[in-house]
Structure 1
Amino acid sequence: MTISQLFKGASFAALLGLAALGTTSCSKDFIDLNDPTRLPSSLGYTDSLSIVTGVTAAYSSLQDMYGNGSNRGLFVYAEIPSDNSFAVTSGEALNEFNDFSLSGLNPRLPSQWLVTYRAIARCNIILSRAGAVKLTDATRNRFYGEVRFIRALAYFNAVQIWGDVPLVTSEITSIPDAYQFGRAPKAQVYTQIEQDLAFAEANLPATQTGANLGRATKGATQGLLGKVLLTQKKYGEAATALKKVIDGNAYALQATYASIFLTNNEMNTEILAAARYSRGALGIGSYFSTWFMPILPTALALTVNNNASQGQQFNSVDPDLVAAFATSGASDVRAAASFGSSGTGAAILYYTKKYSDVPTSAYDAENDWIILRYADVLLMYAEAVNEGGTLTPAALDAVNRVIRRSRGLPVATAAPAVDLPATISQTDLRTRLELERRLELNFEGHRWFDLVRTDRALPVMNALFARTGIKPITANNLVFPLPIQEIQTNPILTQNPGYN
């Protein structure tokens, strides 16, 4: 078996022991993932060019983690289990995420696990090898900062999906060594994430431009750190990190909500971080337009996005989210930009519009996956301050800016008709923030993790399940099962309680 074959296998040992890095060149600047060759980890890394190639390969992992041909991506874990979405298609085992009928045999689990640890392995290789390559200290530390940002993101996703996970921070060069890694407590994983992001914050530039647009920045690091701290209920520290993004003035809300998601407006002023894709038969297009659009008759399909006849509707908008938008009122412009519908009456089916595009062919769209944007930062900042116990004018203004934009109003101008009052209680603001995050960030990979973070997953989902006849979930369902293949390969790994 070749190194390349081992790399593509599902086993934990092969994944960590022998990682392959791809060389790149593409229309989307530095993020070209069209692997013309494979560079085994045991070769190369003797000069600056090979390090650049390795860092680019680490960035390519973002496509793997957020969705491509080899892996369905984060929406499987962040949207389908929530009250935002449900899966329609058969044959993908996505329905098991709808009703939490999961076991470790679900085929979506090993692919997400593999691409997560592949990303981590690629980052670890750069961190292990770049020290011996002739680079200026500033350049080396910038590369280190970029891959530590990516590693932190990979671990943050992993710990939210599985809880305790193997914590690997150095290059593994033999398969026996890989078997030494069991599950580390999630508190230990979070400590490593915070350390990675602290280093990245200190060594990354405030902005990226030109060919470097899309690389990690100081603001992206601060925003991700804020989310990591908020998830741990470290409210004061989270508020501090998020306020740095706001005070840095490198980001701003787009004037109109719909413009955030236009393919001709990618990496706009609102985007802190994104997994980048590029259509054009280069092998690096995004799959989301095909995955999420409905299956429609050709005539109707052409009125939707010129490609909907190829739609698979993996991820359908739950009527509960549609109802939440209706309650928000007709003035909420986010509804029209967020979802459309096909069919009528009992046969009506809703679909997300945030990833609409006209691909050159199926699975070859332009849409990036937005990982973190400024509206998210503003809402998290308001949440962190509110949970800290003393609401400030700055925190209230942060959420009011998002609300104003949702009504088509200028974000910087007070709007008494829609602004939340300074006298709002902590409980009422908590409830409103939950709603605003759901409506603002729908189908962007946040809802399920938001519910878990705020201890609202059980009451919210069980209320929905009581209406729809689905069995209630328990605390065991707040994380997902480990892939059974990984447990069979590495016996020191254990399964999460309640799963087999």
Structure 2
Amino acid sequence: MKKYITLLFLLLVMGASCKKDYIALEDPTKISTADLYSDANGLGLAVTAAYGTLQDIYGKGTSGTGMYLFTDVPSDNSNALVSGAGLGDFDLFTVAPENVNLSTQWQNFYKCIARCNAIIGRAPGIDMTATLRDRYIAEAKFLRALSYFNAVRIWGGVPLVTKEIQSIDESLSYKRETVANVYAQIEKDLTDAETVLPTSYATADLGRATNGAAKAILGKVYLTEGKYGQCKTKLAELLPRGTNAWGYDLLPLYSDIFSTSNELNKETIFAVRYTKGGFGTGSPFFNWFVPNQSGSTIATVGGGSGFNTIMPDLYDAFPATDPRRGFSIASYVSSGVTYYYTKKYTDVPANAMDSNNDWIVIRYADVMLMYAEAENELNGPAGAISYVNDVRRRAYGNTTNDLTATQTSSQGNMKLAIETERRLELNMEGHRWFDLLRTGRAIDVMNASFTKYQTKNGTVVIQISAPHNLLFPIPLREIQINPNLTPNP
């Protein structure tokens, strides 16, 4: 998939470089809609373009916007130590509807959804093999579901567009759908996709969505909705470790998960793919997340931006004996102040914001901890503890640090233990804020964090006790364009 996304970029550049001695009335860098959806090759390019929008959603060097801004920065794991571009507002819950990052991400989601809708709607009319056509449709449904899943957790009910829009008037007729109906569509898309998508791909197509990825995301959707029985049943299909149909398992070494030389390993279920080299497809995360105080000391190419800086509380949350802290977090001292940053996206960029690091959307440790969470909600800690301890044993390399029955003597204790384990195991991978929302703990955890870190002269200057802070504002630009859209409280 990395190769195909890069190839698509090169084709566009080559088209742009063609010189003519007359005025071209059609943009030579774009493939016409009629040509794109005329045969199997064109449809394949359309599907690749839909995957390409994931780079916009999860982070691209042309914009500071990425999922981290909605998933890590608002949480107690990190903050944005920059005042420009409205990034710091996500840390302090002062995001205004006119914040450019809101409208950028909204447009990114709906660009992906629009491309998927076109594929799903037009593919049946293309003369090609049914097997490949059905797979392309299933891939588009997976990507559409993933976009809506992220959007509904950020904004609540959003416009539910499931077909290609034909006119401006039609686009302005859409209102915000109920949260329940958005989730119903997500479930349907993923259920459809998992019955068609393959278990694996040939080397050239690695990185595309598999039926295992659809099952894993669907399990997370069920867990988010509180459908614990359906979550457990779905995630059980991905168990047991190693001997499941996909070969999913925990890697022996935690640090190997994030190595750019070990991408798409057996622990990675789905990732957004990036390739460095000046093609416009490199990942920006290393440059974005390194402290800007470090200049080019750490990120020797492109320097650091400090967009997603680890808070001391996350560093301190790790027991000193937990090897994951050393694998995950590094520090830089400037003027006597220690700045922590993630090591999970370390690379040598080819250019500024042009690295090889993929963004892992979901991996096997996440599945195991979600299964434990669902089991605990259904039956208590007895059946959940072994899955948490499997994750801990990989981290520590022994059984000495296993959770004990005494530590998890109640459902509530186990719930908090799983929450902590997810925070440590999946730190800075874009899960913490959504975890706090799902468990209903966001207000308590964040108020405690602000009490600890935002107290001046004995007064806590920020609190998020108001439930409206659990959703982000609908972008002002969208409300101004479409009067049918209503704002969040």
Q: TM-score, normalised by structure 2?
A: 0.90
Larger CA deviation: 101-110 vs 239-248: 239-248
Q: Which residue pairs with 2:461 in the alignment? A: 470
Match of 1:367 in 2: 357
1:61 Cα offset (Å): 1.0
Deviations, residues 394-425 of structure 1 (Å, cap 9, x unaligned):
x332211111112133xxxxx25524439732
Aligned twin of 1:384: 374
- Residue 436 of structure 1: which of 418, 421, 438 is its match? 421
Cα displacement (A) at 1:391: 4.4
Match among 331, 338, 341 for residue 331 of structure 2: 341
8 Å Cα contact 1:99-1:470 kept in structure 2: no
Residue 29 of structure 1 aligns with which residue?
Answer: 3
User: What is the DSSP-based 3-state SS (H/G/I as helix, E as strand, rest coil) of the residue aligned with 2:361?
Assistant: strand
Q: Paired residue for 1:85? A: 78
Question: Which residue number corresponds to residue 16 of structure 2?
Answer: none
Counterpart position of 1:189: 182
CA contact (8 A) 2:35 2:42 kept: no
The whole-number CA distance in structure 2 between the counterparts of 1:41 and 1:98 is 41
- The percent of aligned pairs where both chains have the same amino acid is 46
Is 1:72 the counterpart of 2:72? The answer is: no
* Aligned pairs (5 A) from 1:453-468: 453-467=438-452, 468=454
The alpha-carbon distance between structure 1 residues 388 and 345, as it changes in their structure 2 partners (threshold 3 A), is: farther
For residues 421-451 of structure 1, give each alpha carbon's deviation from its aligned partner in whole angstroms, at most 9, with x where no partner exists: 3973211110100000001111111100000
- The correspondence of residues 197-346 of structure 1 with structure 2, limited to 5 A, is 197-247=190-240, 248-250=244-246, 251-296=248-293, 301-302=296-297, 304-307=298-301, 310-325=303-318, 329-343=319-333
- SS of 1:203's partner is coil
1:85-234 alignment runs, 5 A limit: 85-234=78-227
Structure 2 match to 1:418: 402
Shift of 1:71: 5.4
Task: Report if the CA contact (8 A) 1:65-1:71 is conserved.
Answer: no
What residue in structure 1 maps to residue 471 of structure 2? 479
Cα contact 2:393–2:401 (8 A) shared by 1: no
Q: Distance in 2 between matches of 1:115 and 1:43?
A: 24
Q: Indicate the larger mover: 346-355 or 193-202.
A: 346-355
Deviation at 1:306, TM superposition (A): 3.7
Quote the offset at 1:39 in angstroms: 2.8
Identify unmatched segments of 5+ residues in structure 2. 14-28, 455-459
How has the CA–CA distance of structure 1 residues 41 and 488 changed in structure 2, closer, same or farther, with 3 Å as cutoff? farther
Please tell me the root mean square deviation across aligned C-alpha atoms, in Å.
1.7
The answer on whether the counterparts of 2:5 and 2:281 sit within 8 Å (CA) in structure 1 is: no
The aligned amino acid for 1:243 is: A
- Is the Cα contact below 8 Å between 2:294 and 2:303 reproduced in 1? no
Name the CA distance, whole Å, in 1 between partners of 2:353 and 2:299.
14
Post-superposition offset of 1:465? 1.4
- How far 1:246 moved relative to its partner? 1.8
Shift of 1:107: 1.1
- Quote the residue 1:4 is aligned against: none
User: Conserved in 1, the CA contact under 8 Å of 2:194 and 2:211?
Assistant: yes
Query: Given the alignment of the two structures, is residue 397 of structure 1 paired with residue 389 of structure 2, yes or no?
Result: no
Deviation string 1:103-126 (CA, Å, 9 cap, x unpaired) is 101111010000100000000000
Q: State the shift of 1:190 in Å.
A: 0.2
CA contact (8 A) 2:293 2:334 kept: no
Secondary structure of 2:82 counterpart: coil
CA distance in 1, matches of 2:94, 2:236: 40
- Relative to structure 1, the CA distance from residue 31 to residue 408 in structure 2 (aligned partners, 3 Å threshold; closer, same or farther) is farther
Q: Which amino acid counterpart does residue 64 of structure 1 have in structure 2?
A: D
Deviation at 1:295, TM superposition (A): 2.9
SS in 1 for 2:147: helix
The Cα shift of 1:283 comes to 1.1
CA contact (8 A) 1:333 1:408 kept: no
- Is contact 1:104-1:481 (8 Å) kept? yes
Q: For 2:80 and 2:390, how far apart are their aligned partners in 1? A: 33
- Aligned length, in residue pairs: 458
Q: Are the structure 2 counterparts of residues 90 and 237 from structure 1 closer, same or farther at C-alpha, using a change threshold of 3 Å?
A: same
* AA matched with 1:111: T
Q: Deviations over 1:269-291 (max 9, x none)?
A: 11111110000111110111111
**Do the aligned residues in 2 keep the contact of 1:71 with 1:112 (CA within 8 Å)?**
no
> 1:346 Cα shift?
5.4
| Secondary structure of 1:38's aligned partner | coil
1:15 matched to which residue of 2?
none
* Residue aligning to 1:14: none
Opposite residue 289 of structure 1, the aligned amino acid is F
> How far does residue 330 in structure 1 lie from its aligned partner after superposition?
2.3
1:324 CA drift (Å): 0.6
Tell me, what secondary structure is at the counterpart of 1:348?
Answer: strand
Aligned partners of 1:471 and 1:90: how far apart in 2?
17
2:348 counterpart (355, 358, 362): 358
User: What is the rounded CA distance, in whole Å, between the counterparts of 1:482 and 1:346 in structure 2?
Assistant: 40
TM superposition shift of 1:464: 1.2
Query: Which residue of 1 is the match for residue 22 of structure 2?
Result: none
Report the alpha carbon displacement of residue 345 of structure 1 after superposing the two structures with TM: 7.9
The CA deviation string for residues 349-374 of structure 1, in whole angstroms up to 9 with x for no partner, is: 11111111101111110001110000
What secondary structure sits across from 2:369 in the alignment? helix
Q: Which runs of 5+ in 1 are unaligned?
A: 1-25, 410-414
Q: Report the equivalent of 1:12.
A: none
Give the match's secondary structure for 2:253: coil
- The reply to whether residue 56 of structure 1 matches residue 40 of structure 2 is no
- Paired letter, 2:204: A
Alpha-carbon separation, structure 2, partners of 1:96 and 1:66: 19
Instruction: Supply the AA of the counterpart residue of 1:485.
Output: R
Contact 2:360 2:429 in 1 (8 A): yes
Do the aligned partners of 2:172 and 2:482 also contact (CA within 8 Å) in 1?
Answer: yes
Matched residue type, 1:436: E
Contact 1:279 1:286 in 2 (8 A): yes
User: Which position in structure 1 is the counterpart of 2:25?
Assistant: none
Relative distance call for 1:40 and 1:478 in structure 2 (3 A) is farther
Q: Are the equivalent residues in 1 in contact too, given 2:249–2:266 (CA < 8 A)?
A: yes
